[in-house]
Amino acid sequence: MALVNVSGLRKSFGKTDVLKGVDFQVERGEVISIIGPSGSGKTTMLRCVNLLERPTGGRIEVDSRVLCEEQANGSMTFADKAAIREAREHIGMVFQRFNLFPHMTAVENVIEAPIAVKNVPKPEATARAHELLEAVGLGHKGDSYPMQLSGGQQQRVAIARALAMDPTLMLFDEVTSAVDPELAGEILLVMKRLAEQGMTMLVVTHEMGFAAEVADRVLFIDHGRIVEQGPAADVLQNPSHERTKAFLHAVLDRAPMEAEVEEAAEGLVDDLLVRPERIGGDDDGS
Ligand SMILES: Nc1ncnc2c1ncn2[C@@H]1O[C@H](COP(=O)(O)OP(=O)(O)OP(=O)(O)O)[C@@H](O)[C@H]1O
Ligand SMILES: [Mg+2]
**Position in ligand 1 atom list of the atom nearest CA 204:** 22
**Residue 251 CA: which ligand is closest?**
1
Mutate to test the pocket of ligand 1, among 18, 20, 175 (most ligand atoms within 8 A of CB): 18
**In sequence order, what DSSP letters do the residues of 192-245 get, joined into one string?**
HHHHHTT-EEEEE-S-HHHHHHH-SEEEEEETTEEEEEEEHHHHHHS-SSHHHH
Checking DSSP bridges between strand 4-13 and strand 16-26, what pairing results, if any?
A: antiparallel
Q: What is the pLDDT of residues 252-270, one digit of tens each?
A: 765 444 434 444 444 444 4
Nearest to 204 by CA among 190, 194, 191: 191
More confident residue, 279 or 78: 78
Mean pLDDT, rounded, for 80-98: 92
Is the pLDDT at 277 greater than 70? The verdict is: no
Q: CA 286, CA 281: separation in Å to the nearest integer?
A: 13
97 pLDDT band (50/70/90 cuts)? Answer: confident
**Position in ligand 1 atom list of the atom nearest CA 36:** 21
Distance 45 CA to ligand 1 centre (A): 10
Q: CA 123, CA 133: separation in Å to the nearest integer?
A: 15
What is the pLDDT, as a whole number, of residue 286? 41
Nearest to 148 by CA among 106, 91, 112: 106
Mean pLDDT, rounded, for 56-60: 98
What is the pLDDT, as a whole number, of residue 269? 42
Q: What is the pLDDT of residues 144-189, one digit of tens each?
A: 999 999 999 999 999 999 999 999 999 999 999 888 888 899 999 9
47 pLDDT band (50/70/90 cuts)? Answer: very high
Say if CB 214 and CB 29 are below 8 A apart. Answer: no
Average pLDDT, the chain: 88
Distance 44 CA to ligand 2 centre (A): 7
Q: In the 3-class helix/strand/coil scheme, how is 39-78 assigned residue by residue?
A: CCCHHHHHHHHCCCCCCCEEEEEECCEEEEEECCCCCEEE
99 pLDDT band (50/70/90 cuts)? Answer: confident
Q: What is the pLDDT of residues 108-139, one digit of tens each?
A: 999 999 999 999 999 999 999 999 999 999 99
**Residue 36 CA: which ligand is closest?**
1
153 CB less than 6 Å from ligand 1?
A: no
Q: Whose CA is nearest to atom 26 of ligand 1?
A: 38
Mean pLDDT, rounded, for 199-217: 94
For residue 198, report the phi and psi dihedrals to the nearest 5 degrees: 95, 10
Is the pLDDT at 93 greater than 80? The verdict is: yes
- What pairs with residue 229 in β-bridges? 219
Worst-scoring range by mean pLDDT, 49-58, 67-76, 250-259? Answer: 250-259
Q: CA 199, CA 167: separation in Å to the nearest integer?
A: 9
What is the pLDDT, as a whole number, of residue 253? 65
Q: Whose CA is nearest to atom 13 of ligand 1?
A: 39
29 pLDDT band (50/70/90 cuts)? Answer: very high
